[in-house]
Amino acid sequence: MKTTLALILFMSANTYAMFGALNTAATGMAAQETQVGTISNNIANVNTIGFKKQRAESEDLLYNTVTEAGARSSQNTQYNVGLQIGSGSKISAVRKEFSQGMPRITNNPFDLMINGEGFFGLVKPNNEVLYTRDGSFNVDQTGTVVNKQGYKLFPNFSFPQGTKSVSIGEDGTVEAYVNGQLEPVNLGQIPVFTFVNPVGLKSAGGNNYLITTASGEPIQNVAGQSNSGVVVQGSLENSNVNVMNEMTDLIRAQRAYEMNSKVMGVTDQMMQTLNNIR
């Protein structure tokens, strides 16, 4: 009777441990799936103007503390090392990396690039302001500078009729050379917006970002001042995705996924062995 009870307790404890191993491996597989999804999005946007790569960050989950380090092992001794059993991992954040992308020279006067920190502002029809590193602008039928979605460049620049050329300085000063006039017409300055915590911005699609409480309020700067970048006319900023690094990370994530899958297979076999004990 005692032998049977001991066997039942042994099997129950080991079955619980096996289920824990299955769950732990499953969390590892789920984390690697998110890693692969993040990498695939980076690679898909390798040629997207102004795109900033993302990095999935993982953290370990709660631990089952069986023995606390420093707890008493006898009246006069204590455990020098504790016994904690982990329960796996999870993706805790997907961080944007705002490192500078390489310039792409286009010589298009309405293609703009920020060399350094900061964002262009875009005004939607409902007056909501978006922020972007994509400086591929053009003018609409009214001469207003807009992006591909038709959102106006902040704070709304309109070129007069008869404009023959456009000059945009590093400080964002916009000047139009009009037929019949020797001196250029000053249309104002393109500001560069910075954030205390740019990684807290929310991706809104279309190469645009929205502010959040984490990013903080936008700080409007004159280009080239207060740690903001300068405006470069006739150039665009390429994506900062490095394909070789992404492929290396992809292989690492694939191997980790396969190993977690192997752990689940071995655990399943061990559970079958326990179930076959009579």
pLDDT digits (tens, 9 = 90+) for 11-50: 454 554 556 788 888 999 999 999 999 999 999 999 999 9
Give the span between the Cα atoms of 17 and 223, in whole angstroms: 60
**68-77 per-position pLDDT tens digit:** 998 988 888 9
Look up residue 32 and give its two tokens.
């690697």
Residue 136: how many CB atoms within 10 A of its CB?
Answer: 19
> What percent of the chain clears pLDDT 90, i.e. is strictly above it?
73
Rg of the chain over all Cα atoms, to the nearest angstrom: 29
Give residue 180's pLDDT.
84
Q: Judge contact between 115 and 230, C-beta under 8 A.
A: yes
Provide the pLDDT for residue 118.
97
Q: How confident is the model at residue 63 (pLDDT cuts 50, 70, 90)?
A: confident
Could you tell me which residue, 268 or 262, shows the higher pLDDT?
262
Question: Residue 274: which residues within 8 A CB-CB, separation 6 or more?
Answer: 11, 14, 15, 18
Burial grade of 32 (CB within 10 A; 0-12, 13-18, 19 or more): buried
User: Model pTM?
Assistant: 0.85
Peptide bond into 155 cis (omega under 30): yes
Inter-axis angle of helices 243-275 and 2-44, nearest 10: 160
Is the predicted pLDDT of residue 6 greater than 70, yes or no? no
Question: In the numeric block, which tokens belong to residue 246?
Answer: 């992404």
Distance CA 15, CA 13 (A): 6
Kindly state the DSSP code that residue 51 receives in the 8-state scheme: -
User: How many beta carbons lie within 10 A of that of residue 215, not counting itself?
Assistant: 18
From its phi and psi, is residue 25 left (phi > 0), alpha (psi between -120 and 50) or beta? alpha
CA pair distance 5, 278, nearest whole angstrom: 13
pLDDT tens figures, 76-92: 899 899 888 888 999 99
Match 């959040």 to its residue by tokens: 212
Least trusted range by pLDDT, from 1-10, 143-152, 241-250: 1-10
State the Cα–Cα distance between residues 147 and 205, nearest whole angstrom: 13
